[in-house]
A and B are shown apart, each in its own frame.
Chain A
Amino acid sequence: MANICQYGSFTHAVVRSIPETFGGKAESGDGHENGDVSVDLAKAQRQFGCLTGALRQKVGLQLIEIPPDPELPESWRIEDVAVIQGDTALITRPYKHQRRSEVEAVRRVMSELNVTVVEMGAADGDSGGATLEGSDVLFTGREFFVGLSSHTNRRGAEVLADTFKDFAVSTVPVCGGARLKNICSMGGPDTIIINNSDGAKKTLRMMEQLTDHHYEVLTVPDESAANCVYIRGPSSRDFLLHRPAEECPDSVSAFQKLQDYTLLPTACSEASKLGASLSSLCLLINRKHTYF
């Protein structure tokens, strides 16, 4: 298809720094989600720094860092506000009202990068109830899986399907986690990393039922280990950002099964306390399109 490159080839990463209000309760948000966890802001910022450092220096991506906005305590979860495939970015409509203004800065960056921006809310009346967050969207290079979760609904998935018409968009229930990307992520062009909870297995079975393709499945024992970031670097090297041994002691050996990968253990414990993970912190873009 026109915009299929080798899966995982990216040139840019867009991140948004951790604000001082990190971990603060979003007003009128579902309080229980991050109500009683205590997070270490400085540690979160250090971890964020490590992540961006790895993306820039190890993987070799151009990094675009959007400055933090204290008004938007969850704006660092930048993955949620856009789904990017090829040269099209779908600006999503997050579930929480107060998060919806997070999209503005991201939209600007997308325009600067010359990415075609599609608004989820804009399409005539289409916003009617549609919500979608990027952490419920798994793009495998061949198709999209949209996890129907508390934050993403079917209408949102439909908008996504309308935006990326080239691809099959399948909806799956999210079992065993709050978000689809909490229980699985891509570990390579044909590899799905998934944790071995029963819920995740159920979701995986559904994905296998719905797909025309065959994916390798890498099962990891730690629940939080299933969220990784796979990037095919400039020199066609495979990078995998994954949770370090301290956070996921049992899963590191599973990652070592990936042949010829450069493994980049990246800590994410603080964001993780808020239900996020590695992939939540960055948007990956490929601006070097080859059509042929």
Chain B
Amino acid sequence: MKLVVCHVNLLDGTDFSCEVEKRAKGQFLFFKVCEHLNLLEKDYFGLSYTDSHEQKCWLDPTKEIKRQIRSNNWQFAFNVKFYPPDPSLLTEDITRYLLCLQLREDVATGRLPCSFVTHALLGSYTLQAEFGDYEPDQPRPLDYINQRTFAPNQNKEMEEKILELHKSHRGMTPALADTQFLENAKKLSMYGVDLHQAKDSEGVDIMLGVCANGLLVYKDRLRINRFAWPKILKISYKRNNFYIKIRPGETEQFESTVGFKLQNHRSAKRLWKVCVENHSFFRLNSPEPPTKARFLTLGSKFRYSGRTQAQTRVASSLIDRPSPNFERTSSKRISRSLDGAPVISITEAGRDTTENGRDPHLELHSDSKVKEVDLSPGDADATPTKQSPGASELAPSQSPMRVHGDNIYVRHSNLMLEDHDKTQDEVLKHQASISQLKRSFMEAPPPSPPQPNQWEKRLTSSPATTIRIQQQQVASVPQSEADAADNRISDTKEPAKTTEVEIEETVVVQEVSKAPKPGLVTVTISSPEMNEQEAKAEEEALVAEGAQAVKQESISSDSESEEEAEYHPNVSVSISHTQIPEEKEEEEEEDQEEKEEDTSAPDAPSLPAEVIKPEEAICQEVEDSGRGDAEEKTSAKEEKESEKETETSTDDPMMTPKEAPNGLDLHEETVSEMVAPVAAEEEEQPKVNGEASLVEAEVRPQVICCSEPPVVKTEMVTISDTFAAQKTEIATKEVPIVHTETKTITYEAAQLDGNGDGEPGVLMTAQTITSESLCTTTTTHITKTLKGGLSETRIEKRIVITGDCDIDHDQALAQAIKEAKEQHPDMSVTRVVVHKETELAEEED
């Protein structure tokens, strides 16, 4: 492997250099930098480089660095890429500190314009944060101040004002000073606005500003137009033209397209990319997978690949580490706390990664896995080979509960919805991905002493049974918690003789009131097979470790050449997800652990050979490491359990007895059985890929013009039989959720094919009804899975109500449940999620 030294200019002005393999991807370097900085909330940041035309570009994490920089100048800058509209929602002080550093630079260079008083005020908070209280007898206070640049036109008067205000901050902690700094900076009108030079259709010079809320048009310093993201239907560029298609206003009938001219096609593309990324980050719950290769597809397939803000907030809420020490100063080198232990271990990890071409972060992750396995006495429980009765009980009793995670809960929360409207597999995978994410968070600062200790303590102090109970509780928390191990457990359970099928009808009532107007676009989705979607997602395995899935806006894109590309930001809502890209990522990561040189998976998604790898990886991991990391995951779960408001319900005298025997059987079979479904999936995927373009076309939402009929499609699955409802009730901890009913219906299903291996089907209907002020989109999503002798059918119904007026969600919910019951009288409603979303801008004010 050829190594190259990268130089990264950090926000405090210092340089960070590290060696990377010549073919390393952007994210590899980025993660290295984040580890060096001890930064966990990294999604707001990015690496930039200067291209051969002296333009600042963002380094795409999913692509090879070498191909992007196109020069031998491996020089980068670490910068804030997405300015959080409300920095107080950031979890860690260190993140806020880095944001402050960026803003100080923005302000000092004039990129973020502000008035004299604001300059002075921001400067005074900077002094307070970096120097502490004002000391009157400090030698020549004006000396240190005039060496610093606070403003582009700094003068004596301003410096005096800064000092005067600094005096008034006496006693303010550095963290508070940073917070105050950000509270003031965030209100500036140009905060987080990325300006691009352009000309309007008449050739007049204007500036286009991309920000969290949309696209702003400035002429000189005046704002002359604004296109909020919800108003934009499509963003595209062609050569040096940049176009946005605008949703028709209340009085208009047709959408209009606004075009701007940029200097050249590179700037047009750069602007387009920034728009795609900003839209995805701030408006989507999860990133849209990049477009796949299709027939005749040329052009940019670029999509935002990181976590969205929603995802990163969830992820941040899971951060559980003592706030790292760092020294706030822009004049000194980074303090020891940053250069200390973590960095050392990072370097080690880094070495590995360079050797293997792996992600450092993954490396760490596996490291600590091993460690935790060593630590944890409960480990044995999860190891299939040991076959301890406890363990065998554990697995099945836990999986059914989660699998049939039959809670009905009503939740009003912004970020919670994604997990609830998934099929069981999704939930599992999602959970896996969350735990993955969690692990990556926990482990990113490598052997950080407090972490393992806490876990260890918990694990050792709690007898296996306790753990088990906790697992159970956690298990039924659809929100997160689960993990790959559980996933496997449940997989293995299914091949066993239990002819158990879960029918779950999920009614998701999602209020989206963020769109200022009711107009919603109907989306046609016909995705024949869940697995296909999964496969697709797998292939596209994103960088993100994000943990969410439900998109409320989806994107379709197509493009004809590198010179142009399109992006549909707002195409509504009704994609129901079967797949969780993040999970794929995990698989891919595992995959990467297996395959030394498997770097191309995300980039070349549609190659069957690569698609298979993740599956192999799973098998292998299952076989090799067995439940090695189960314990770790358990602890992760406990962890989460304590920190998440989770709704769980267990109380299942029926269930446990019933499941346990199965479980026992199962468990013995674990390893061998486990391989089976995996292999099956494996087989399936090439086929999927064969169909890829077709599937793609179908899965992609199509914008249906408002003049066209709103009803989209398709079919109903008939369910032959249902019986045996089980009630589950799990003790609840501090839960903001209304628990209404839980039920599992099992029935004997007809085999889908001789093979008997999973052929899940996804059928969806989508319907949009638009009234004056409300738009209701209903998507029905039926999943039928057959694995071994097991079949499960799940119907998910997502109802998205968009409107600019208040929505009586209780009524909507009642209606949805009623309808669901009427339509499928023989099934039960197992889960109800209400997700209410309001305009971001308003929230954050």
Binding site for B on A (CB under 8 A): 1-4, 86-88, 116, 143, 146, 154, 157-158, 161-171, 209-214, 291-292
Contact = CB atoms under 8 A, between A and B. Distances in A.
B225 interface: yes
Contact of A2 (B121, B220, B841, B845): B121
Contacts of A211: 226
Interface string B804-845: 000000000000000000000000000000000001011001
Q: How large is the interface on B (under 10, 10 to 19, 20 to 34, 35 or more residues)?
A: 20 to 34
Contact of B188 (A1, A154, A162): A1
B226 A166 contact: no
Given A165-B114, A169-B189, 6 more contacts: A2-B115, A86-B115, A87-B117, A169-B222, A170-B226, A214-B841
A165 B113 contact: yes
Given A3-B115, A212-B841, A214-B842, A169 B223 contact: yes
A110 to B, nearest CB: 15
A292 B839 CA distance: 27
Nearest to B186: A1
B220 A158 contact: yes
Contact of B224 (A143, A171, A291): A171
A245 B546 CA distance: 60
A116 B116 CA distance: 10
B755 interface: no
Contacts of A143: 189
Contacts of A4: 187
B114 A209 contact: no
Interface in B103-156: 113-118, 120-122
A166 B114 CA distance: 5
Contacts of B845: 213
A213 B188 CA distance: 13
Contacts of A171: 222-224
B213 interface: yes
Given A2-B120, A292-B180, A88 B225 contact: no
Interface string B581-600: 00000000000000000000
B488 to A, nearest CB: 48
Contacts of A154: 219-220, 222
B165 interface: yes
A213 B187 CA distance: 12
11 contacts: A1-B118, A2-B114, A86-B117, A154-B219, A165-B113, A166-B114, A166-B118, A171-B224, A209-B225, A213-B842, A214-B842
Contacts of B117: 2-3, 86-88, 291
B70 interface: no
Nearest to A206: B225
Contacts of A168: 189, 223
Contacts of A163: 115
A244 to B, nearest CB: 34
A161 B219 CA distance: 11
Contacts of B672: none
B353 to A, nearest CB: 42
Nearest to A161: B221
Interface in B201-228: 213, 219-226
Q: Is the interface of B mostly helix, strand, loop or mixed?
A: mixed
A261 to B, nearest CB: 22
Nearest to A169: B222
B222 A166 contact: no
B597 to A, nearest CB: 47
B217 to A, nearest CB: 9
B421 to A, nearest CB: 29
B465 interface: no
Contact of A214 (B120, B165, B224, B839): B839
Given A158-B220, A171-B224, A2 B189 contact: no
Contacts of B184: 1-2
B121 A291 contact: yes
Nearest to A3: B117
Contacts of A213: 841-842, 845
Nearest to A190: B845
A272 to B, nearest CB: 30
A158 B221 CA distance: 6
Contacts of A165: 113-115, 118
Nearest to A291: B121
Contacts of B842: 213-214
Nearest to B116: A116
Contacts of A169: 189, 221-223
Contact of B213 (A1, A2, A212): A212
A154 B120 CA distance: 29
Contacts of A162: 221
Nearest to A167: B189
A158 B220 CA distance: 7
A210 B226 contact: yes
Nearest to A86: B117
Contact of B226 (A161, A212, A291, A292): A212
B225 A210 contact: yes
A2 B114 CA distance: 10
